[in-house]
Structure 1
Amino acid sequence: MAKDKVTEAVTIDDIRAAARRLDGHARRTPMLSSPFLDEISGRRVLVKAEPLQVTGSFKFRGGWSAVSQLPSDCAGVIAFSSGNHAQGVAMAAKMRGLPAVIIMPSDAPQLKIRNTHALGAEVVLYARGKEDRDEIGDRLARERGLELIKPFDDARVIAGQGTTGLEIAEQAAEAGVDQADVIVCCGGGGLTAGIALALEAEAPGLRARPAEPERFDDVRRSLETGQIERNAAEGGSLCDAIMTPAPGKLTFPIMQRLSGPGLVVTDEECLQAMAAAFLRLKLVLEPGGAAALAAALYHPGESEGDAVIAVASGGNVDPRVFQDALTRYADSV
C-alpha cells in the first residue's frame, strides 16, 4: 500500500523554499523540441535540458539546496558519487567557501574525476564492488567532522531536485501541454521523487515516470512489487550516472505514491538518443542523462498521450563515448 503523503520526508513547501535559495545561483534550463524527434516518437517530444545547468547536470540543484542550509561554522562537506553529484556538491561547497571531500569509484569517467578536482574538492577513489564507500565516508566524516550530503536519499537534495519539476510545470503550460508523461532518468530516485512532488502540486495532469538502464531497473521492479528491490550487478553499463543499487528509503515512498510504471532502456538506445539530441537539439548528453529521451523516442508504445516530456539529466560525457555515439548513429537519427 502506498504511503500517505504526510509521512514523506519532503513537501512542496520544501521544494518552493529550495527554489528561493537557488534563485540567482542555478539556471532555469530551457525546454527544447524538434520536429525530427517528434517524427521518431510519433508524438510531440519536449526535452528539459539539464545538461545546461551549472556543472552540467541537475545535481547542482540538490547540491546547492543542501550546502546553502549549512551553518557558517561547518567544517566542510563529504559526498559519494560517480561524478555528477560530486561536481554539484563540490561547486556548491566552493561557492560557500567550504572544504569538500568526494568519494568516487575508480572506474568513474575521467572527465568527472578531473572536473571534481578542478572545482577544489579532495577526491578519494575506491574500488567499486571491493571497497565499501559508506564505510569510507562514515570514517572520514567522523575523523574530520564533515557534513554528509547523500546523492539522493537526503531531504535537502530531493527538495533541490524538485525545482526541476516546478520549471517543467511552468514550461509545459507555456507549451500548451497539460496531460503527459514526464520521463526522468532515474538512479536512486531523488530527481524522480522531487519532480513527482512538484508536478502533483503544480501540474497534476503530468505524471513522472522513471527510466533506467537494463540490469539496473531496481526502481521499476520496486514499483511493481511494492517493496525496495536491489540490483544484482554493481557495474557494466555505460549509464554510470544512474547505476545505483536500490531506490532510497526517502525517495521510494514518494515514487510509489506518485510515479507511473518504470521504463527500461538499453545502452545502445542511450547512445542513439545521444546522437539524436546532438544532431537535432544541439545538446550534449551522457549515456545516463539520455535514458529518458531514449525511452521517449524508442519505446513510444509504453507512454501515454499526444506529448511526452523527457528530462535530459546530464551532459558530462567521456569524449570517446560521445564520439562512439555519433560515429555509430549519426546517419540513423
Structure 2
Amino acid sequence: MTDFTMIEAAAGRLAGHARRTPLLSSPLLDEVAGRRVLVKAECLQRTGSFKFRGAWNAISALEPAGVIAFSSGNHAQGVALSARLKGIAAVIIMPSDAPAIKINNTRALGAEVVLYDRENEDRDEIGARLSAERGLTLIKPFDMAEVIAGQGTCGLEIAEQAAEAGVTEGRVFVPCGGGGLTSGIALALEAKAPGLRVHPCEPEGFDDVARSLAAGELQRNAALSGSICDAIVTPQAGEMTWPVIQRLCGAGQVVSDEAALNALALAHDHLKIVIEPGGAVALAAALACEGDGPVIAVASGGNLDRAMMVRALDA
C-alpha cells in the first residue's frame, strides 16, 4: 500500500521532470461560487494531465525493459512520454471511443496503440495477455502503489500553495475515476495539510465512489460508457485506492455533463486554461457546492477535441 514516505520518494524522482503546476484564482469565479475558489491547474502538466506524475514515478522506480498500459488517453500519454524519455518500448491499450486527440497524441509520443471495445472486451485480460506475450511490465492507471505515490505529489504542491495563499482549512474537490489521484492527494494532505479534506467528484451515472462512500462499501457502475467525462469513467475504485478514500475523504460530489461543460467554459474565460470535461467536474462541484469557506478544485486534465471545446463555449 502507498504511504507518505513513498510520496516523498516520488517527489524526488519527479523533481526536474514534472511541472509544479500553478494554483489559480479569479475574482469572477469567486463571485459565481459565492466563496473563494482556487484551481490547481494540472491541465498544464506535461502531456496535459496529472497522469505524467504517476507514470514517471512508476517507470523510474521499477526500471522495466518495456511497459504496457490501458487508458482512455491521459494515462496513455503519460506512460508514452515517460517511456520515450526512458528509451523503452510502450504498448497502450485504449478504448476505441476515446477522443481522437488522445489516440493521436499517444501514437505521436511513440507508443504502439491497441484499440478495444470497452462494452464488449475486457481491457485487463488484453493487458495481461500482451504483457505475458511480450515480457512487458504493466503500469496500471490507478491501482498501483507507485502510480498513487506519483499522483500524491500533486497533493504536496497543493498543501504548499494553499498555505502560501493563506488557506489551511477547506474542501479539496478532485476528479475521481479509479481513485489514484484522489487517494494520492488525500494521503499527502493528511500528512501536510490535515485541515484540507478531499471530496471525490464524478459524472452522473458513473458515481460509484460517491455511492460507495454513502453505503460504506465498494459499489460498481452498471455502464462503462455514456458520459463526455471519458477520462474518469471507470467500473469502480481500485483495491488499493478505495480503503484510502473511505478513510480520508468526505462525501462524493456528482456533476452533470452540462455542469462540466459550463465549468470548462468558465475556466477558459476567467482562468485562461483549457480543461477537458472529466477534468472540469471538480470545478463544477466547487462552483455549485453549499457551505462556507474556501474551496480548491483540481483541474486534472486538458486533453479534449476542438469540437468539445466549441460545444462548451457555444453552450
Equivalent residue letter for 1:37: L
Task: Give, in angstroms, the shift of residue 44 of structure 1.
Answer: 0.2
Q: How far apart, CA to CA, are the structure 2 residues paired with 1:133 and 1:210?
A: 24
1:315 is aligned, of 302, 306, 314, to 302
The answer to whether residue 97 in structure 2 is matched with residue 107 in structure 1 is yes
- Over residues 36-89 of structure 1, what are the superposed CA-to-partner deviations in whole Å (9 max), with x where a residue is unaligned? 100111000000000100000000000001011123xx3300000000000001
Task: Give, in angstroms, the shift of residue 128 of structure 1.
Answer: 1.2
The answer to whether residue 1 in structure 2 is matched with residue 41 in structure 1 is no
Which sits farther off after the overlay, 223-232 or 112-121?
223-232
Q: Contact 1:274–1:286 at 8 Å: present in 2 too?
A: yes
Instruction: List aligned pairs for 1:106-185, cutoff 5 A.
Output: 106-185=96-175
- Secondary structure of the 1:69 match is helix
- Over residues 256-313 of structure 1, what are the superposed CA-to-partner deviations in whole Å (9 max), with x where a residue is unaligned? 000000000000000000000000000100000000000011x221xx4420000000
- Secondary structure of the 1:210 match is strand
Q: How far apart, CA to CA, are the structure 2 residues paired with 1:206 and 1:300?
A: 16
Match of 1:190 in 2: 180
Q: How far apart, CA to CA, are the structure 1 residues paired with 2:158 and 2:217?
A: 29
Gaps of 5+ in 1: 1-8, 329-333
1:50 is aligned, of 42, 48, 58, to 42
Which aligned segments of 4 or more residues in structure 1 are displaced greater than 4 angstroms?
Answer: none
Task: Give, in angstroms, the shift of residue 327 of structure 1.
Answer: 1.0
Instruction: List aligned pairs for 1:158-307, cutoff 5 A.
Output: 158-297=148-287, 299-301=288-290, 304-307=291-294
Q: How far apart, CA to CA, are the structure 2 residues paired with 1:258 and 1:175?
A: 23
- The sequence identity of aligned pairs, in percent, is 68
- Over residues 195-220 of structure 1, what are the superposed CA-to-partner deviations in whole Å (9 max), with x where a residue is unaligned? 00000000000001100000000001
Q: How far apart, CA to CA, are the structure 2 residues paired with 1:100 and 1:263?
A: 35
Match of 1:5 in 2: none
- Secondary structure of the 1:277 match is helix
- Secondary structure of the 1:247 match is coil
Task: Give, in angstroms, the shift of residue 325 of structure 1.
Answer: 0.3
Gaps of 5+ in 2: none
Per the normalisation by structure 1, the TM-score is 0.94
Task: Give, in angstroms, the shift of residue 134 of structure 1.
Answer: 1.0
Q: How far apart, CA to CA, are the structure 2 residues paired with 1:100 and 1:25?
A: 19
- Over residues 119-150 of structure 1, what are the superposed CA-to-partner deviations in whole Å (9 max), with x where a residue is unaligned? 00000000111111111111100000100011
CA RMSD across the alignment: 0.7
- Secondary structure of the 2:132 match is helix
Equivalent residue letter for 1:26: A
- Secondary structure of the 1:14 match is helix
The answer to whether residue 75 in structure 2 is matched with residue 85 in structure 1 is yes
Q: Contact 1:207–1:259 at 8 Å: present in 2 too?
A: yes
Task: Give, in angstroms, the shift of residue 32 of structure 1.
Answer: 0.2
Match of 2:23 in 1: 31
Q: Contact 1:78–1:137 at 8 Å: present in 2 too?
A: yes
The answer to whether residue 9 in structure 2 is matched with residue 21 in structure 1 is no
Q: How far apart, CA to CA, are the structure 1 residues paired with 2:295 and 2:221?
A: 28
Q: Contact 1:49–1:313 at 8 Å: present in 2 too?
A: yes
Q: Contact 1:181–1:305 at 8 Å: present in 2 too?
A: no
Q: How far apart, CA to CA, are the structure 2 residues paired with 1:305 and 1:93?
A: 44
Match of 1:59 in 2: 51
